[in-house]
Structure 1
Amino acid sequence: MAHIHLDDYFRVIFEEGILNVPVNRQNLRTSAMRFLEKRQELDHADASLQSKRNEFEVVREKIRERREKLNKNEEKAKEALLKFDRFIKDNDAKRSRGVKKAELQKAVVAQKEKELEDLKKEYSILLSKRDQLSNRVTRATVYHVFLTTLMKMSKKFEDITHLIGRFDTLLATRDQLLEQGKGAETHAERQHVELRRYVSEQSSVLLQLNNTLSKLQTELDTILAQACKLENTWNNIQSTAAKETLLLGQVKFGILNLYHVVGAETGEEDGVQVEDSVNQLEKIHVFIQDLTDISCGVSL
């Protein structure tokens, strides 16, 4: 398409040049030659460009093939890397299992060695016990001989077992008696503790009673002192009352005498009672008032 447009362009330019430029055959020939030269240069440039395009296509195809090859190599490398990674992981797992197995075997060996040492110690202890039992049997032979001789000397026992049974019975009886004695001692100790507790409680009660008695005695002394004071006060009151009663009697007697002096009567219907000193004083007051009024009238 670029080649066609270029031809059209030159054709238009050429036609315009022919139309606008005066016809000159020499110039026309020169222009045609230049046009042909330019046309040849253009064709040469197109051929060179096409060659470059072909070379570029070849290079691009090679690059594409190389890229595909590189992609394949990359895939192969990835697969190889994955295989190598799996190989490493498998080796690590095998090594870990081997280490664990070795550690387990080592622990089992250590456990077996410990068990062997324990068995050796137990065997040594059993040998020691066997020797001790053998020595005890040797020492007990003397007692067997003694019991045999004792059974032969005594007619009460049929064999050594019967003799040992009798001895065990006596030991059991002794233990029972000792236990009963301990029980009696425990009971006596308990009774003694109870007695001490009772004495302590009664002492506390007695102390409280003594304190209460002391308080009551103090209160009694206080009450007696107050009673003595009240008795003295009562005696004083009685003495004062007797004096005041005597004085009151004298006053009443004087009022009664004055009442009689003024000529008033007692004990009658119009009179005043002997004990009514107030009315007697009123009568005396009225008499004195009348006497005063009369005296004032006489003076006038």
Structure 2
Amino acid sequence: MEQINLEDYFRLIFEEDILKLPVQRQNINSSATRFWEKRREVDLVGASLKSKRHEFDGVCEKLRERKENLWKKEEKMKEALLKFDKFIKENDAKRSRGIRKAELQRVAVAQKEKELEDLKQEYSILLSRREKLQNRVTRATVYHLFLATVGKMSKKFEDIPHLISRFDTLLVTRDQLQEHGRGTDTKTEGERTELRRYVNEQNSVLLQLNNTLSERQTELDSVLSEACRWEYTWNHIQATAAKETLMLGQIKFATLNLYHFIGGDTGKEEGVQIEDTVDQLEKIHLFIQDLVDITGDSRF
């Protein structure tokens, strides 16, 4: 609420009171009269101010009471709003719990209905199975009578359970014998498999040895062929060497005769050795050059 300015308020009231005063005559000259008139005016203004002040205090008191009432109403409204908000939240929580509870109940009802349907189906299956078992019992009555008759006719069995026990024992013995037979067959089959594997391995080894033998035979044939070729070459070399040796002997003999023919000596210190064919040829070469030189000089 807008605050009241007291100075403006009293000034306004004072001006209104002054305007309401009766107009004095301008011809009053006495100062005493003017004093009393002013005094009376002041008293009137003071009384008016006191009245206005009292009225203003009343207005202020009413305003204060109104302000307090408004503040109390505001507090009550805040409290009411808080309570209402709490009430709304509680209602929301209750509604959420109610929704969850309803959902859980709906799920539980659906589950119970499903369980009920399953139980009904299971009950139907059990009824059908009981009917089948009842039919089997009815059909098996003949076997019961047959076993009772066999038990009475045989002296080895005291009653039907004894006969059934003996039959079960025979079944177990048969199963054991069959299992033993299957084990023996399995062992025999394993040994046969091992034998086949060993034979296959030996065949593989034999085939590998045959391949190796064939390779070695091929290598031997190649070596023999190469040996024959080298033997032929060696014989050819020996024959050629014999011819060349004979020719070399003839050349040495001819060279020695030619050396003796030109007057060469052998066996002496200043002579040439008989086996030194090269030196003999050198001597012959020198002799021929000397002969050529002499012949050339005689022509000129």
Specify if TM > 0.5. yes
Q: Please, which moves more after superposition, 76-85 or 54-63? A: 54-63
For the residues of structure 2 that align with 1:57 and 1:256, how far apart are their CA atoms? 184
For 2:103, the equivalent position in structure 1 comes to: 103
1:171-226 per-residue CA deviation (whole Å, 9 max, x = no partner) reads 22322222232223222322333333334333433443344344334433433343
For 1:89, the equivalent position in structure 2 comes to: 89
Measure how far apart 1:277 and its partner are.
Answer: 1.4
| Code of the aligned partner of 1:119 | L
For the residues of structure 2 that align with 1:72 and 1:83, how far apart are their CA atoms? 16
For the residues of structure 2 that align with 1:206 and 1:57, how far apart are their CA atoms? 141
Measure how far apart 1:233 and its partner are.
Answer: 2.8
Alignment of 1:101-180 (within 5 A): 101-180=101-180
Measure how far apart 1:88 and its partner are.
Answer: 0.7
For 2:230, the equivalent position in structure 1 comes to: 230
Identity %: 68
TM-score if structure 2 supplies the norm length? 0.67
C-alpha change, 1:73 and 1:246, in structure 2 (3 Å) is same
C-alpha change, 1:296 and 1:69, in structure 2 (3 Å) is same
C-alpha change, 1:294 and 1:112, in structure 2 (3 Å) is closer
1:278 aligns with 2:273: no
Listed as ranges, the gaps of 5+ residues in structure 2 are 1-26, 28-33
Measure how far apart 1:85 and its partner are.
Answer: 0.8
Measure how far apart 1:167 and its partner are.
Answer: 2.3
Q: Please, which moves more after superposition, 101-110 or 84-93? A: 101-110
Measure how far apart 1:67 and its partner are.
Answer: 5.0
For 1:75, the equivalent position in structure 2 comes to: 75
TM-score if structure 1 supplies the norm length? 0.67
| Code of the aligned partner of 1:252 | K
For 1:6, the equivalent position in structure 2 comes to: none
For the residues of structure 2 that align with 1:56 and 1:280, how far apart are their CA atoms? 180
Alignment of 1:260-271 (within 5 A): 260-268=260-268, 270-271=270-271
Measure how far apart 1:269 and its partner are.
Answer: 5.0
For 1:245, the equivalent position in structure 2 comes to: 245
1:26-55 per-residue CA deviation (whole Å, 9 max, x = no partner) reads xxx9xxxxxx9xxx9xx99xx8xx89x979
For the residues of structure 2 that align with 1:296 and 1:122, how far apart are their CA atoms? 151
What SS class does the counterpart of residue 265 from structure 1 fall into? coil
For 1:205, the equivalent position in structure 2 comes to: 205
For the residues of structure 1 that align with 2:259 and 2:60, how far apart are their CA atoms? 177
For the residues of structure 1 that align with 2:226 and 2:104, how far apart are their CA atoms? 106
For the residues of structure 1 that align with 2:117 and 2:289, how far apart are their CA atoms? 149
| Code of the aligned partner of 2:174 | R
RMSD of Structure 2 on Structure 1 (CA): 4.2
For the residues of structure 2 that align with 1:101 and 1:298, how far apart are their CA atoms? 161
C-alpha change, 1:87 and 1:288, in structure 2 (3 Å) is same
For the residues of structure 2 that align with 1:210 and 1:79, how far apart are their CA atoms? 115
Measure how far apart 1:280 and its partner are.
Answer: 2.6
For 1:32, the equivalent position in structure 2 comes to: none
Report which structure shows greater RCO (CA 8 Å, sep ≥6). 2
C-alpha change, 1:225 and 1:56, in structure 2 (3 Å) is farther
Measure how far apart 1:62 and its partner are.
Answer: 6.4
What SS class does the counterpart of residue 190 from structure 2 fall into? helix
Measure how far apart 1:276 and its partner are.
Answer: 1.9
For the residues of structure 2 that align with 1:165 and 1:59, how far apart are their CA atoms? 120
Measure how far apart 1:247 and its partner are.
Answer: 1.7
What SS class does the counterpart of residue 123 from structure 1 fall into? helix
